[in-house]
């Protein structure tokens, strides 16, 4: 195993992409960046799953990366979503993100076309050879239709620019295998598993719930790092119902955008084929936010 330092840790927020009247709302995006920085996040990750990257045009995808990098202006790190099921497109997006000053690239496993292990390796190898930007692997078989097995991840981890993995399989066994086989920084890709994953050696989370309660997620992470397990557990149990509904009420990012609309921080608009929360789902989300203490 190669030795690589920790470049991404703590709270990375998987940033939503705000829309207004069908278009990317650039002023709102800048406000979201400022709010996140003011609330103490370590890193922002635009145009991932939560950022609705599949519904953005190539020009919009690049524009969102450029705005976030420019507006962050070095205040926190930026881990730009540059993945694609086309290796050529992933290479182009990663090179673009580097040109705009991103600190890293979050690159989802190629989706839909279901490559073999060799295909996964060659995909990331091509990106690594085309750009010196640090790569964070993103393994989310529920979205991509194929798991990157730990042995495949271990091979990819030997590429010089691959530094971390966003582990979104939901399997603690898989996370443990990856941790045992590699020196990659392990980041939770599921808010409800952040504390368990840190217990087995993870360094933080790429968070959806951080869009609305970043300080609380940071409090849990910092309590664990300080050795205050009881405090970390208290935060985990407080956050859990919110995390559950934000990822279980409907497909991400529908619930988080609905919640942000209720909190007056987003229009709630999503792009087809995503659709807004139903009235019954809105009622449940409002109750969840009330119980958490976010609205009266």
Residues tagged active-site: 138, 166
The CA distance from 279 to 212, in Å, is 21
Q: Show the 3-state SS of 100-140.
A: CCCCEEEEECCCCCCCCHHHHHHHHHHHHHHCCCCEEEEEC
Residues, the chain = 296
Q: What is the DSSP letter of 43?
A: E
- Residue 38 to residues 34, 99, 135: CA-CA distances in angstroms? 6, 26, 26
Residue with tokens 């719930």: 209
Q: What is the DSSP letter of 267?
A: -
Residues ≥6 apart with Cβ < 8 Å to 287: none
């Amino acid at each position: 195993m190669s030795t690589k330092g920790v470049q991404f840790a703590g709270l990375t927020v998987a940033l939503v992409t705000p829309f207004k009247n069908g278009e990317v709302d650039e002023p709102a995006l800048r406000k979201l960046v400022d709010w996140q920085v003011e609330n103490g996040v370590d890193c922002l990750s635009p145009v991932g799953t939560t950022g609705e990257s599949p519904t953005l045009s190539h020009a919009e995808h690049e524009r969102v990366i450029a705005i976030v990098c420019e507006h962050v202006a070095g205040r926190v790190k930026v881990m730009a979503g540059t993945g694609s099921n086309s290796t050529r497109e992933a290479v182009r997006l990663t090179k673009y993100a580097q040109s705009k000053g991103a600190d890293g690239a979050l690159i989802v496993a190629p989706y839909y076309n279901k490559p073999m292990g060799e295909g996964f390796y060659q995909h990331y190898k091509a990106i690594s050879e085309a750009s010196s930007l640090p790569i964070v692997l993103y393994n989310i078989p529920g979205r991509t239709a194929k798991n990157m097995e730990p042995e495949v991840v271990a091979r990819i981890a030997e590429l010089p620019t691959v530094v971390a993995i966003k582990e979104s399989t939901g399997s603690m066994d898989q996370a443990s295998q990856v941790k045992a086989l590699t020196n990659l920084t392990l980041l939770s890709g599921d808010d409800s598993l952040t504390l368990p994953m840190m217990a087995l050696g993870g360094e933080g989370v790429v968070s959806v719930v951080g869009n609305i309660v970043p300080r609380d997620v940071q409090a849990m992470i910092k309590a664990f790092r300080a050795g205050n397990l009881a405090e970390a557990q208290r935060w985990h149990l407080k956050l859990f119902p919110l995390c559950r509904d934000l990822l279980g009420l409907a497909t991400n990012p529908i619930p988080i955008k609905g919640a942000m609309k209720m909190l007056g921080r987003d229009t709630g608009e999503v792009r087809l084929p995503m659709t807004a929360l139903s009235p019954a789902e809105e009622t449940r989300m409002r109750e969840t936010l009330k119980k958490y203490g976010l609205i009266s």
